[in-house]
Structure 1
Amino acid sequence: MSAANTPIAPTGAMAMSGPPYPVRRWLVLVICCLSVGATGINLTIVNVALPSISADLHASLSSLQWTVSVYSLVMACLLILSGSMADRFGRKRIFQLGLTIFALGSLLCSLAPGVGWLITFVGVQAVGGSMLNPVAMSIIVSVFPDRGERARAIGVWGSVIGVTMAAGPVLGGLLVSDINWRSVFWISVPIGVAAFVLARRFVPESKSARARTFDPYGQALIIVLFVSVIATTIEGPRRGWTDPWIIALIVLAGAALIGILLVEPRRPEPLIDLRFFRSPPFSGANLISLMMTAGLGGFLFLNTLYLQDIRGCSPLRAGVMVIPMAAGQAVAATASGRLVAARRNRLALALGGALLAAGAFLLVALTAHTAIACLLVAYAVFGLGAGMVSPPVSHTAVAGLPLDQVGVAGALAASARQFGSAIGVAVAGSIVANSHSGFIQSSHAAWVVIGGCGLAVLALGIISTGSWARDVAARNGRRLTDRADDRSEYRPA
Structure 2
Amino acid sequence: MSEQRSVACSVAEANVLQETASSSIAKNAEIYGGKWWLLLSVLCLGWFMSALDTTVVNIALKNIAEDLQADVAGLQWIVDGYSLVFASLLLSAGSLGDRLGNKRIYLLGLALFTVSSLLCGLAPAYWVLLLARILQGGGAALMVPNTLALINMVFPGSKQRTRAVAFWAMTGSGALAIGPVIGGLLVGLFDWRSIFFVNVPIGIVALLASLSPRRIPEAGRRLAKRGLDLIAQIMAVLGLGALAFVLIEGAHLGWLSWPVLACLALFVIAGASFCYVRRADAIQCYLCAFLPFQPFRR
Which TM-score applies when normalising by structure 1?
0.49
Deviations 1:391-425 (A, max 9, x none): xxxxxxxxxxxxx95xxxxxxxxxxxxxxxxxxxx
- Residue 83 of structure 2: aligned partner: 72
- Per the alignment, residue 232 of structure 2 pairs with 218
Alpha-carbon displacement from aligned partner over 1:143-165 (angstroms, at most 9, x marks no partner):
11210111111111211112222
Give the corresponding residue for 1:118: 129
Q: Do structure 1's residue 204 and structure 2's residue 217 form an aligned pair? A: yes
1:36 to 47, 52, 55: 47
Partner residue in 1 for 2:249: 233
The change in CA–CA distance for 1:108 and 1:200 in structure 2 (over 3 A counts) is same
Change (3 A) 1:51 1:236: closer
**Deviation at residue 172 of structure 1 after TM alignment:** 0.7
Compared with structure 1, are the counterparts of its residues 166 and 228 closer, same or farther at alpha carbon in structure 2 (3 Å cutoff)? closer
How has the CA–CA distance of structure 1 residues 151 and 60 changed in structure 2, closer, same or farther, with 3 Å as cutoff?
A: same
The residue type paired with residue 221 of structure 1 is M
Q: Which AA in structure 1 matches 2:202?
A: I
The secondary structure found in structure 2 opposite 1:180 is coil
Question: Per the alignment, do residues 150 and 132 of structure 1 end up closer, same or farther by CA in structure 2, a change over 3 Å counting?
Answer: same
Shift of 1:44: 1.4
Compared CA separation, residues 259 and 140, structure 1 to 2 (3 A): closer
Amino acid at match of 2:88: C
Tell me if structure 1 keeps the 8 A contact 2:88–2:238.
no
CA contact (8 A) 1:67 1:118 kept: yes
Q: Does the C-alpha gap of structure 1 residues 479 and 153 become closer, same or farther in structure 2, counting only changes over 3 Å?
A: closer
SS at match of 1:197: helix
Gaps of 5+ in 1: 276-403, 406-476, 483-487
- Counterpart of 2:219 in structure 1: which amino acid? S
Residue in structure 2 matching 1:6, options 2, 18, 21: 21
Distance 1:481 1:63, change over 3 A: farther
Contact 1:96 1:196 in 2 (8 A): yes
Cα distance in structure 1, aligned partners of 2:253 and 2:205: 43
Conserved? CA contact 1:101–1:125, under 8 Å: yes
Change (3 A) 1:228 1:79: closer
Matches within 5 A, 1:343-492: 481=290
* Residue of structure 1 equivalent to 2:116: 105
Q: 1:235 to 1:222 in 2, by over 3 A?
A: farther
Q: Name the amino acid aligned to 1:233.
A: E
Residues 290-305 of structure 1: matches in 2 within 5 Å?
none
Correspondence for 1:154 = 165
Give 1:88's aligned residue: 99
Question: CA shift at 1:189, angstroms?
Answer: 1.1
Q: Is the CA contact 1:213–1:269 (under 8 Å) kept in the aligned structure 2? A: no
Cα distance in 2, alignment partners of residues 86 and 255 from structure 1: 27
Give the direction of change, closer, same or farther, for the CA distance of 1:236–1:155 in structure 2 (3 Å limit): closer
Corresponding residue number in structure 2 for 1:134:
145
Distance 1:264 1:198, change over 3 A: same
1:176 aligns to 2:187 (yes or no): yes
Tell me the distance in 1 between the aligned counterparts of 2:178 and 2:263: 39
Q: Which residue of 2 aligns with 1:324?
A: none
Please tell me the residue identity of whatever aligns with 1:164. Answer: A
Distance 1:148 1:112, change over 3 A: same
Specify whether residues 48 and 54 from structure 1 end up closer, same or farther in structure 2 by C-alpha distance, changes over 3 A only: same
Which has the larger displacement, 94-103 or 150-159? 150-159
- How far residue 209 of structure 1 moved from its aligned partner, in angstroms, is 3.5
Q: Deviations over 1:103-138 (max 9, x none)?
A: 011111111122222111111011111121111111
Which of 168, 192, 195 aligns to 2:206? It is 195
Residue number in structure 1 paired with 2:37: 26
Alignment match, 2:294: none
Letter of the structure 1 residue corresponding to residue 249 of structure 2 = T
Distance in 2 of aligned mates of 1:210 and 1:129: 22
- AA in 2 matched with 1:214: L
What is the CA–CA distance in structure 1 between the aligned matches of 2:288 and 2:219, rounded to whole Å? 30
Task: Check 1:258–1:165 CA distance in 2 against 1; reply closer, same or farther (3 A cut).
Answer: closer
Offset of residue 52 of structure 1: 1.1
Higher relative contact order (CA 8 A, sep 6+): 2
Measured at CA, do residues 103 and 269 of structure 1 come closer, stay the same or move farther in structure 2, by a change above 3 Å? farther
- Equivalent pair of 1:77/1:222 in contact (CA under 8 Å): yes
For residues 236 and 157 of structure 1, the distance between their equivalents in structure 2, rounded to whole angstroms, comes to: 33
When residues 479 and 190 of structure 1 are mapped into structure 2, their CA distance, relative to the original with a 3 A threshold, is closer
The AA in structure 1 aligned to 2:33 is Y
Aligned 8 A contact 1:224 1:253 in 2: no
Query: Could you say which residue in structure 2 is the equivalent of 1:57?
Result: 68
Which string of whole-angstrom CA distances, capped at 9 and with x for unpartnered residues, describes residues 289-340 of structure 1? xxxxxxxxxxxxxxxxxxxxxxxxxxxxxxxxxxxxxxxxxxxxxxxxxxxx
C-alpha distance in 1, partners of 2:133/2:78? 7
Tell me the distance in 2 between the aligned counterparts of 1:14 and 1:147: 14
The one-letter amino acid paired with 1:224 is L
Q: Give 5+ residue unaligned stretches, structure 2.
A: 1-12, 292-296
Work out the number of aligned pairs and report it. 271
* Counterpart for residue 8 of structure 2: none
